[in-house]
Amino acid sequence: MIKLIRNAQLWMVSCALGCILVPPAVAQQAAIQVSAEPVREIRIANRIEALGTLHANETAVLAANLTETISEINFSDGQRVKAGDILVALTNREQLAQLDEARTGVADAEQQLERAKQLIASKYVSRQELDDRTREYNVARARLRAVEARLADRLIRAPFDSVVGLRQVSVGTLLTPGMAVTTLHDDSVMKLDFTVPELKLAQIQPGQRVIASSRAFPDTPFEGEIAVLDNEVDPVTRALRVRALIPNPDGLLRPGMLMSVMVEGEQRQALVIPEGALLPLGKQQFVMVVTERDGATVAGRREVIIGARTAGMVEVLEGLNEDQQVITHGNFRVSPGQLIDVRASEEILP
């Protein structure tokens, strides 16, 4: 029994000596190489990102309001037209004859009225005769205006400066009321409609700058500004519809295009760290920071509350100060209190 006790004592002493006599090179190997960046204070702006659909500033589907045959078509597909240009003429031979008749009637009534005015001065006609001639002249003019209106109904004009869509009729087509001839779009300015979550209503208002992009033109940003907010929130999606106006001088944008939208808010001072420094755990966010303990550089863990994200950076609302450093490379390999060796990113061993 005594011999066993002595053996146990010798084993404990040897273990203790072994722990004490660990070479310094072995202890140094415990430090993990990491890279770190300081917490910075910069000016950032709240950004809202969404998807939107383009609409023309003005859109009209040209159609006739009567039944008649097309006699002329004065436009081609994709042509740009001015307000008032005659695009389609309907058969109007009868109306032209009525126009000549009405003009002749006006000219004759005007001559009779002038003659009556001259004779009443010489007292050869009564005042009643002059009143009758005046009434006949006014009736003739009203008939002329009526014929001109019927004739104008047979001319389909462009209601505003626009670009013409695809033609859907031909000469000789019998138009009926409501039958589409073509579609016109005023694309000088485009309306971009998108939705914003109800929670972000305080961050958006008319006049804010927006930047839109399209897959069709990936290298071309389109700038505009918010024109109006809808007057109600959708009770199902809890989102508000927003409309922005984007100038389109080159005609690149077309109605119906899908656009990515970014709305820039007011700038403010904020603490930011690289996005790669975050260590998410469920709904919480943590970072590993560089700290000092007993003269050694060790890692520490901090829980942070984050805000906006922008260009690889993330805003820190709570949990860090400007004079701290966060580990950006190797942060997933260290634990709190572990020795670290802070180096440049390119010096870290894989």
Separation between Cα atoms, residue 350 and residue 341, nearest integer Å = 14
Separation between Cα atoms, residue 315 and residue 308, nearest integer Å = 5
Picking from 132-141, 145-154, 174-183, 291-300, which range would have the lowest pLDDT averaged per residue? 145-154
Residue 320 phi/psi, 5-degree rounding, is -135, 160
Tens digits of residue pLDDT in 306-340: 988 877 889 999 999 888 999 999 888 888 988 98
Separation between Cα atoms, residue 171 and residue 182, nearest integer Å = 14
Of 242 and 84, more confident: 242
Residue 302: per-residue pLDDT? 92
User: What mean pLDDT comes out for the span 258-265?
Assistant: 89
User: What mean pLDDT comes out for the span 135-157?
Assistant: 78
Residue 123, by phi and psi: left (phi above 0), alpha (psi -120 to 50) or beta?
A: left
Separation between Cα atoms, residue 305 and residue 229, nearest integer Å = 31
What angle, 0 to 180 degrees and rounded to 10, lies between the N-to-C axes of helices 93-121 and 127-152?
Answer: 160
Residue 200 phi/psi, 5-degree rounding, is -105, 15
Residue 196: per-residue pLDDT? 92
Element (H, E) at 116: helix 93-121
The pairing of beta strand 217-233 with beta strand 313-318:
unpaired
Tens digits of residue pLDDT in 38-50: 999 888 877 788 9
DSSP 85: -
Q: Answer yes or no: are the C-beta atoms of 240 and 201 closer than 8 Å.
A: yes
* Closest to 172 measured CA to CA, from 90, 85, 99: 90
Structural domains present in the chain? 27-46+270-347 (2.40.420.20), 65-90+158-177 (2.40.50.100), 92-153 (1.10.287.470), 189-265 (2.40.30.170)
Confidence band of 108 (pLDDT split at 50, 70, 90):
confident
